[in-house]
Structure 1
Amino acid sequence: MSELVAAEDVLLFVNAAVTATGQREFRSSAAEQRFSLAFLHAYVRINYRPLYASCLALDINDHNAALIAEHLLRTPGEAGPGEGRLIAARLARMAPQRVYRLFRALRAAGVNNRRTRAIVRDWVAARPDPALDAVKYRPGVKAALRHAHVPAADAETGDFLFAPGRRVRYGNPTLEAYRRAHYEEAALYGLPFTVAEGFAARHGVARPVFLERMAPRMTRLERLRTAREAGAAGGLPGMPLTRLALYVLALPLAERAARRAELTGALRTAARRAAGPYAGSWGWVAGVLDDSFSASGSAVKRRRPLAVALGCHFLLEALAAPGAYTGLWTSGGTDPLLVRPYGPTPLGLRVLDALDTGPERLVVVSDGWDNAPPGLAGEVLRVWRSRLDPERRTAAVHVNPVYDARGFDVRRLGPSVPTVGIRDAEDLPALVEVARFAEGRTGLAELRAYLDRRVADCLAAHERERKEGGR
C-alpha cells in the first residue's frame, strides 16, 4: 500500500508538472496556481528526491523543469548521484531565455555552490553563438557570467557586455551590426528579429517592408506569429501541432473557411509528423473532444485547452487505422476547423456515443468539468468498465490540459479510467504509456523502472548531442 501511495504521489506531481505553468486558468488565479505548485514541488522533493529529479527526463513543461532544477541546486546537501548531469541534459533542451531566467533566480537566491557554477559554465560554453546571445539576451548573459565567475567567450563579447564604450568597432558581424544599427537602418537586418524590431521602430521602417526583409533571419515561430500580419503562410510548414492549432483558432471563422484546404493540410501534416512510428497503429479510435466554454482558457492562456483538443483530433486521426477514427465534439459540431469554445460540457452523452462505435481505444480530451448533467461521464465509464467491458477490450484514457490548483492535480472523470495531464497534443502517444501507471494497479517499482529508462535515454541523447557539437 505504501508503494502505491508513493506512485500516486509521483504521478500526481507529473500531471501538475506537465500542465501547470503558474498562470491564470479558467477556474483558478495565477496566485492559486503558484501556491499549489510550490507545495507540490516541496512535498515531492523532500519525500521522493530521486524520483523528483528523474522527472526532468519526462515531457514536463519548461516552467516546472526550471523549478525542479532550481530546487535541486538550492539544496546541494541532499543531492543524489547523477543529478548534475540530468540537470545539464534538461537545460540543453530548454529555450535559452528560460535558462537565463533560471540563472538570475539562482543569483537572487544566493545559490552559488560549486555544482551550480559548473552547470552554468558548461551550459554557457556550449552555446553555439555567444555573440548572438550577448545581443539577444544581454541582461541574462551578464548576470550568469558574473554570478558563476565565468569569463566571456572572447574579448570582443566581453567588451560588448561589460565595457561597451571601449571599442570603436567589432570584428564579429552580429556585434558590429548592433553597434551600427543605432544610426544606420541597413544594419538592423543583420540582427535577431526581436532585437531588430526595436531598431526598426526607432528608424521608422514600415512594418511590411521590415517583415519582408527580415524573413530570412526569422525563426519558424517568428514566421508563424507574423504570417497573418504579413499576408503570407510561409510559417506553417514544419510548425509543431499545438502551436499550429493555436494559430488556426486565432483566425476569424470566415478566414478559416476560406483557407480550409491549406489549414487542414498543414494540421494533418503536423499530426502525421507527431505520430511518427505510431501512425496507423492504434486501430479503431474514438475521441471525445471538449469545446465547451471553459476551453476558452484565460487571458494569458487564450484558447489553449481548445487548441490541445484540436491538435489531438488530428493526431488521433493519424494514429488510427485509415478510416477508423471517430471524433465527437461536446458541442455536437462536425467541422473541426470551425470549432469554437461555446456552451456546457455534456461529456457523458458524447462518451456514450463514442462507445457505440465499438472502438479499440477511447481518448477523452477535456478539463474534466462534466456538467450536463454533472458526473454522468464518470458514471457511464464506471458501469461500462465494471459491467459491459470487464475484460478491457477497449483501452480508455482521459487526457486533461488544465491543472486544478485546488485539487493539486488535473481533474478526473472517475476512478475507472486513468487520467493524465497534457500540455501539447504531440505528447499524446507518450502519455498513453504513462497512463497505465495511473490506473492504480502498478507500484513504485514499475514506475521507478520506467523513470530510470527515461533518464538513461535522456542522458544518452544529451551525450550524443554534446559529442556531435564538439566536432
Structure 2
Amino acid sequence: METYADLIECEDVLLFANAAITSTGQREFHSTAGDQRLSLDFLHRYIQGNYPDLYAATLALDINDHNAALIIANLLSGAEGDGGLIARRLDRMSPPRVYRLFQRLRGAGVNNRRTRALIRDWLAGRPDLAFDAVKYRTQLKSAVRHAHLRLPGELGDFLFAPFSRARYDTPLLEAWRRAHYDKSALYELPYTVAEGFAARHGISRAVFLERIAPQLTRLERLRLAESAQAGGLDTEADLAAMPLVRLASYVLSLRADVRTRRRAELVGALRAAAARAAGARAGTWGSVAAVLDDSFSSFGSPVKRRRPLAVALACHFLLEALAGDYRGRWLSLRTDPLQARPSGPTPLGQRVIDALEHRPGLLVIVSDGWDNAPPGLAGEVLRVWRRKLDLAGEVGIVHVNPVYDAGQFDVRRLSPMVPTVGIRDAEDLPALVELARFAEGRAGLGDLRAYLEDRAAAR
C-alpha cells in the first residue's frame, strides 16, 4: 500500500526529472537565465537533501548533460552515489562537458580519493589522449594536476613544457609543433585548433575550409554548411547521420527558399534520422495524432534559438515513423512541416479538439504549455474529454514539454487530467511516454524505484 509520503516522494522525483531533462540554466522565452539557474539550484538541493539515493539514480534517466554534471559534482562533494553509474554517465557526456566538470571540481576544492580515481579512469579510457592534449590542452592539464597524475611518454612534456623537445614521435603532437612555422602542418590538426593557426598565418577562409575538410567532424560540417557550400564541401551525407533535434535545428535555420530548393534532401535526411531513432518500434504504435506548437513562443530565446520548435519538428517525423497511422496538426494550421516557423498565438484547445475528433489510440501534445487563445481552453477540453467522453481512457494522451518553467519548478502543465513530462531530445520520446505512466498515477514509488534500477543496470 502506497503511503501519502510515498506519493509525495514519487511526485518530487518526477518533478526533478522534468527539470533535469529540459532546463540547461539558460534563458527561455518566459524566464531569464538567472531565474532558470536559481530554480534549478533549489531543486538539486531539495532532492539531494531529501532523497539522496533517488537523486543519484536519476543519472540513469535521459537527463541533459548540464544537470548530469551538476548531479555528479554534488555526489562527488559528498559520499553518495554509485561510482559505476557516475563513470558510465561520464562516458556518455561530450568531452568538453566532462573537462568543464573537472575544472568545476578543482575550483570547488573537491579532491577526494573517489574524485581522483574517476578522473584517472576516465582519462585512461579516452581513445586518443594525444588528440585531447592538442584540442583540450588547458583543460587536460588542469585535470592532470587536480588528480595528481603523471602522463607517460611525450604527453607530460607536451602539456607542461611543449617546446622542450625538438621533435615529437606522436604525429599529432609533432603537427602542432610544426604548425607554429609550417602552414601545411596545420591541416593535420583538429579544426578548432587549426583555425587559430590559420588566422596567425593569414590564410584566407575559403582556402582554409577547402583544405581542412577531411578533418571536420559531422557537427562541424553542419555548423559550417552554408559557408562550406561556397568552398565546395558536400554535407548531404552528414545530415542523415545527425541526431533528430540537431538536424531539425539546422533545417529551421535555413531560409524558406533554401528549404524549398533542398526539400527532397532535407525531408529524406529527417525521415532517415527518424527511422534510425524508431528502430524496431517503427510502425508499431498504431493510430497516433500529434498537436505541434509553432506559436511565437516556440522561438525560445537568443541562446536557445528555435529550440522548442526544433523539438516539435523532430517529434513530428519520429511519430510519423513510429505510428501505423499518423496525423500531425500544427497550431498555425500549416500543412508543410518543413516550412515551420515561430508565429502567432497558442490555440492549443482548438487543435486538441481537432486531433481527438478521429479518436486516435495515442495523442501526443508537443508544446511549452502556454495556452492563450483563449487561455485555459486546452485544459478544459482535456477535462471534459477524460470525465465525460472517454471514461474508459481508450485514447492515451501525453503532453511533452521542451521548456522548463522556472517559476513553477517544473514544466508547465495543461491539465491534471493528462500526464506532462519534459523532453529535450526527440529520441527520448518512447521512454518519456513510458515514464508518463508514473506522472499519471498508474504506477507508484515502488515501480518508479524499480524502473530507475532497471535503467541503471541497462546503462
Secondary structure of residue in 1 paired with 2:194: helix
Is this contact kept in 1: 2:240–2:270, CA < 8 A? no
Q: Which residue of 2 aligns with 1:268?
A: 271
User: Which runs of 5 or more residues in structure 2 are unaligned?
Assistant: none
- The 4+ residue runs of structure 1 with deviation greater than 4 A are none
Q: Which residue of 1 aligns with 2:124?
A: 125
| 1:364-375 → structure 2 map (5 Å cutoff) | 364-375=365-376
Does residue 245 (structure 1) correspond to residue 248 (structure 2)? The answer is: yes
Does residue 174 (structure 1) correspond to residue 153 (structure 2)? The answer is: no
Q: Give me the whole-angstrom Cα distance separating, in 2, the residues matched to 1:176 and 1:233.
A: 30
Q: Which residue of 2 aligns with 1:441?
A: 442
Given residue 124 of structure 2, which amino acid in structure 1 is its aligned partner? Answer: A
Q: Which residue of 2 aligns with 1:233?
A: 235
Per-residue CA deviations over 1:443-462 (Å, capped at 9, x if unaligned) read 2111000000001111xxxx
Q: Give me the whole-angstrom Cα distance separating, in 1, the residues matched to 2:278 and 2:211.
A: 35
Is this contact kept in 2: 1:193–1:218, CA < 8 A? yes
Q: Which residue of 2 aligns with 1:192?
A: 190
Does residue 157 (structure 1) correspond to residue 168 (structure 2)? The answer is: no
Q: Which residue of 1 aligns with 2:114?
A: 115
| 1:44-443 → structure 2 map (5 Å cutoff) | 44-76=47-79, 79=80, 83-152=82-151, 154-231=152-229, 232-234=234-236, 235-321=238-324, 324-443=325-444
Is this contact kept in 1: 2:292–2:366, CA < 8 A? yes
Given residue 164 of structure 2, which amino acid in structure 1 is its aligned partner? Answer: R
Is this contact kept in 2: 1:8–1:440, CA < 8 A? no
Per-residue CA deviations over 1:257-303 (Å, capped at 9, x if unaligned) read 11111111111111111111111011111000000000001010000
Q: Give me the whole-angstrom Cα distance separating, in 2, the residues matched to 1:212 and 1:247.
A: 21
Secondary structure of residue in 2 paired with 1:407: coil
Is this contact kept in 1: 2:221–2:228, CA < 8 A? no
Is this contact kept in 2: 1:44–1:52, CA < 8 A? yes
- The CA deviation at 1:233 is 2.6
Number of residue equivalences: 451
Q: Which residue of 2 aligns with 1:20?
A: 23
Q: Give me the whole-angstrom Cα distance separating, in 1, the residues matched to 2:281 and 2:404.
A: 27
- The CA deviation at 1:336 is 0.4
- The CA deviation at 1:209 is 2.4
Q: Give me the whole-angstrom Cα distance separating, in 2, the residues matched to 1:415 and 1:387.
A: 15
Per-residue CA deviations over 1:77-107 (Å, capped at 9, x if unaligned) read xx25xx1111111001110111110111111
Secondary structure of residue in 1 paired with 2:399: strand
- The CA deviation at 1:256 is 0.5
Q: Give me the whole-angstrom Cα distance separating, in 2, the residues matched to 1:358 and 1:209.
A: 58
Q: Give me the whole-angstrom Cα distance separating, in 1, the residues matched to 2:330 and 2:257.
A: 20
Q: Which residue of 2 aligns with 1:468?
A: none
- The CA deviation at 1:182 is 1.1
- The CA deviation at 1:441 is 3.3
User: Which runs of 5 or more residues in structure 1 are unaligned?
Assistant: 459-471
Is this contact kept in 2: 1:4–1:442, CA < 8 A? no
Secondary structure of residue in 2 paired with 1:2: helix
What TM-score results when the alignment is normalised by the length of structure 1? 0.94
Given residue 196 of structure 1, which amino acid in structure 2 is its aligned partner? Answer: A
Is this contact kept in 1: 2:244–2:426, CA < 8 A? yes
Secondary structure of residue in 2 paired with 1:406: coil
Secondary structure of residue in 2 paired with 1:121: helix
Q: Give me the whole-angstrom Cα distance separating, in 2, the residues matched to 1:251 and 1:202.
A: 31
Q: Which residue of 2 aligns with 1:462?
A: none
Given residue 358 of structure 2, which amino acid in structure 1 is its aligned partner? Answer: T
Given residue 108 of structure 1, which amino acid in structure 2 is its aligned partner? Answer: G
Is this contact kept in 2: 1:292–1:341, CA < 8 A? yes
Q: Give me the whole-angstrom Cα distance separating, in 1, the residues matched to 2:265 and 2:332.
A: 25
Is this contact kept in 2: 1:177–1:190, CA < 8 A? yes
Identity %: 68
- The CA deviation at 1:143 is 0.7
Q: Give me the whole-angstrom Cα distance separating, in 1, the residues matched to 2:311 and 2:438.
A: 22
Given residue 210 of structure 2, which amino acid in structure 1 is its aligned partner? Answer: E
Q: Give me the whole-angstrom Cα distance separating, in 2, the residues matched to 1:143 and 1:112.
A: 13
Q: Give me the whole-angstrom Cα distance separating, in 2, the residues matched to 1:99 and 1:252.
A: 35
- The CA deviation at 1:208 is 2.6
- The CA deviation at 1:2 is 1.1
What TM-score results when the alignment is normalised by the length of structure 2? 0.97
- The CA deviation at 1:204 is 2.2
Q: Give me the whole-angstrom Cα distance separating, in 2, the residues matched to 1:428 and 1:258.
A: 30
- The CA deviation at 1:155 is 2.3
Q: Give me the whole-angstrom Cα distance separating, in 1, the residues matched to 2:183 and 2:68.
A: 40
- The CA deviation at 1:440 is 2.3
Secondary structure of residue in 1 paired with 2:397: strand
- The CA deviation at 1:214 is 1.8
